[in-house]
Structure 1
Amino acid sequence: MNPFIANLRTAFLTTLVWLMIGILMAVALVLSNLTNWERALIFAIPPAIIFSFVSASAYYVCRSLPIKKRRFLLVCGLFGGTSFISGLIFSLICGGWNVIISFLHEARFGIPFTYPIAVFIIISGSLFYLLSLLAYDVLIAFDNVRYAERREAESEVLAREAELQVLRTQINPHFLFNSLNSISALTAIDANAARNMTIELAQFFRLTLSLSERQKITLAEEIALCKHFLTIEKIRFGQKLQIQMDINPDTESCLLPPMLLQPLLENAIKHGIRDLVDGGTIHLTSKIRAPWLFISIENPIDVVPSLAIGTGTGLKNLSARIQSLYGDKSRVESQRNPHSFRVEIALPLER
């Protein structure tokens, strides 16, 4: 079915347009001194509305000849031929209607179907159909542009999701390999600790699987995920690793991408706590300064830089994920001081 007249609103508008065309045709008949106003209106309006159904076929004529395949002579032949045939059909409709009203009302409303009137009707019908062809051509062009824009937007979304998936696959194995190495090391030293770490690791990945299906989770859910990770690391580092969380209760319902903080905590341990003889405390804070959510992670570092310098993959992945989701509406900043390293994330406030 013609999509431009498929709903009630567009069908009503189309009928209204053809009603106006019928009135204009009646005006032309009167101005040409071919009949009077009463007969002209009764003669012209019903055939014009009936012809609107014929003109709907112009949509399929336009679709049968895509713009990329058009040639001048081909277009002239197709559009001109269909317009002329439609003009003949319009003359048959008008002639039939004229016979009906002449029969029903004893020639009171019928008009003499002379040669000039017949020529006028054929030319009018051909022009009406040609205008329908041009109108549908424009509508199809706009529809194609909207379709192309929609496809482009869908492609961008798919590309972004694929990029995020790649970033996630870079993060999860990294943590898994480190955890398995820790369990392997603990097996020979403390079997009970290795068992507890295995249980916590299973709980961590069970929660990760349920949350990773969602594009965004609440900060409270992200904190719960991080606590499982920190429990695993506490088994490994003992009292050497301390955690201080200053989470504003108003921020717990705020939304953020899953697995956003865990890589930062892992970096804080790997490049900070691990290199310190006495360990240290990681500070995790959150606060709101409308319309922004601020989250920061700060950890102590050794004055003497470690030989195992990081490649910055964690921060790069974090920045890439946030940039992909929020664009320029977000910010990731890191600051290294002589005794500490701090990362602050600013996200648009969403609940």
Structure 2
Amino acid sequence: MAPPLSNRRGALLYLLAWLLIGVALGGICAALAAARLVNALLLTVPTTVVYGIAAGFSAYYLCHANPIGTRPPALIVLMVAAAAVLAGFMWLAVLQGFNELCLSFAVDWAGVNLSAELTALLFALGVLLYGLLAALHYLAIELDRARNAERRELESRVTAQEAELRMLRMQIDPHFLFNSLNSISALTSQDPRAARDMTLQLASFCRHSLALAAQRKVTLEQEMTLIRHFLAIEKVRFGERLVTEEALERGALACLVPPMIIQPLVENAIKHGIGGLPEGGLVLVAAWRDRDSLRITVSNAVDPAAGSGTRLRSDNGIGLVNVRHRLACAYPNAASLTWKREEGTFAVDIVLPAQLGEA
């Protein structure tokens, strides 16, 4: 909490509050002292504003020098009570001194007869007002502490989330790289030219992947560039057996997605779908905007005789499980991944928020 009068708006509100308190005290003094209202207001308004400024700074520094938890509660209460009593005496001295000054003018509109009862009331109000200021300062300190703790917790959660995303992201790269190197090794003795082409395509893919690795999100258009490099690598191995199509809505290409979120799905589509079909088949990647959501579908032909769980049994659980975990980390409770199999086709659907820029 900033000290009183630290900014213009806060200072105006603070002074206005004490001005209203001074007016209220003027009404009380006028009633109890049987004096005219103008006399009471002339006494209470300026002295109350001055007291509010002095007491505000005093309570602020007292509370910040003795925050709750650093000293025994009884000691803090005793210190605040002693400061409040001292402030009450000082306010009373200022009131009486200013009142004597007003009476010395010997005019009807200045000065009030301060009786013993009124003096005791003003002293008690001064003590209570100081105690209220101290309580408000302690409340503000605790609220700031709670906000800071919440912010630190959020920062730690974000850090842990980013670490988990990096871990999941790192699982994809060696998995894909090992598969590609195995394919190149198999082609070396059978078709050296195809192995060379595949090596060049893999180099292009790695360069493009490294360029995007440092980014938390990439556009769908950049992600599709990676997918095209990957498909070019796979087409060297599968030849005419692999047929690919894209159905990408123009408005969806600018949306942000986690890097390499589609590649594992396409890899699974080829490995567990097209790879099991002697005649090959189609792999379709589609994306479109649906109001505030981005929908991405990867579908492929599968062997009708294969079990419904074939596509789910990717190496070491990498694939759909990895993508689902990454979506859960990047979009908590805001993204989903589902799959279905029907009439010789297996399709994976991703729904995530349509973001055009980092929040």
Aligned twin of 2:335: 330
Q: Is the 8 A contact 2:274 2:302 kept in 1?
A: yes
Aligned twin of 1:30: 30
Query: What are the Cα deviations for residues 223-281 of structure 1, in whole angstroms up to 9, with x where unaligned?
Result: 11211111122223322322122223343233322211101111112222223333322
Shift in Å, 1:8: 1.9
Q: Is the 8 A contact 2:22 2:46 kept in 1?
A: yes
1:329 partner SS: coil
Query: What are the Cα deviations for residues 291-321 of structure 1, in whole angstroms up to 9, with x where unaligned?
Result: 4433211222333568x95254211111122
- Are 1:290 and 2:291 matched, yes or no? yes
Give distance in 2, aligned partners of 1:295 and 1:323: 16
Aligned twin of 2:131: 130
Q: Is the 8 A contact 2:218 2:259 kept in 1?
A: yes
Match of 1:346 among 348, 351, 359: 351
Q: 1:5 to 1:262 in 2, by over 3 A?
A: farther
1:281 partner SS: strand
Give RMSD over aligned pairs.
Answer: 3.1
Tell me whether 60-69 or 231-240 shows the greater mean CA deviation.
60-69
* Paired amino acid for 2:29: L
2:331 partner SS: helix
Q: Is the 8 A contact 1:264 1:314 kept in 2?
A: yes
Aligned twin of 1:249: 250
- Are 1:91 and 2:96 matched, yes or no? no
1:165 partner SS: helix
Q: Is the 8 A contact 2:172 2:318 kept in 1?
A: no
1:258 partner SS: coil
* Paired amino acid for 2:338: E
Aligned twin of 1:7: 7
Give distance in 2, aligned partners of 1:141 and 1:203: 56
Q: Is the 8 A contact 1:291 1:349 kept in 2?
A: yes
Q: Is the 8 A contact 2:165 2:326 kept in 1?
A: yes
Give distance in 1, aligned partners of 2:202 and 2:253: 24
- Are 1:316 and 2:321 matched, yes or no? yes
Q: 1:21 to 1:172 in 2, by over 3 A?
A: same
Aligned twin of 1:150: 151
Aligned twin of 2:44: 44
* Paired amino acid for 1:45: V
Shift in Å, 1:19: 0.7
Aligned twin of 2:229: 228
Q: 1:122 to 1:291 in 2, by over 3 A?
A: closer
Aligned residues: 350
The answer for unaligned runs of 5 or more in structure 2 is none
The answer for unaligned runs of 5 or more in structure 1 is none
Give distance in 1, aligned partners of 2:101 and 2:168: 75
Shift in Å, 1:131: 1.5
Spell out the pairing of 1:109-128 with structure 2 (5 A cutoff).
Answer: 109-111=110-112, 118-128=119-129
Shift in Å, 1:140: 2.7
- Structure-1-length-normalised TM-score: 0.86
* Paired amino acid for 1:335: K
Q: Is the 8 A contact 1:34 1:117 kept in 2?
A: no
* Paired amino acid for 1:205: C
Q: 1:304 to 1:23 in 2, by over 3 A?
A: closer
Shift in Å, 1:114: 6.7
Shift in Å, 1:190: 4.6
Q: Is the 8 A contact 2:243 2:282 kept in 1?
A: yes
Q: Is the 8 A contact 2:4 2:53 kept in 1?
A: no
Query: What are the Cα deviations for residues 174-220 of structure 1, in whole angstroms up to 9, with x where unaligned?
Result: 11222233334444555544444333333323322333433333322
Q: 1:70 to 1:176 in 2, by over 3 A?
A: same
Q: 1:192 to 1:51 in 2, by over 3 A?
A: farther
Query: What are the Cα deviations for residues 99-130 of structure 1, in whole angstroms up to 9, with x where unaligned?
Result: 65566x45662446676665444333222211
% same residue: 37
* Paired amino acid for 2:32: S
1:285 partner SS: strand
- Structure-2-length-normalised TM-score: 0.84
Give distance in 2, aligned partners of 1:294 and 1:344: 7
* Paired amino acid for 2:128: L
2:254 partner SS: coil
1:66 partner SS: coil
Give distance in 1, aligned partners of 2:301 and 2:329: 30
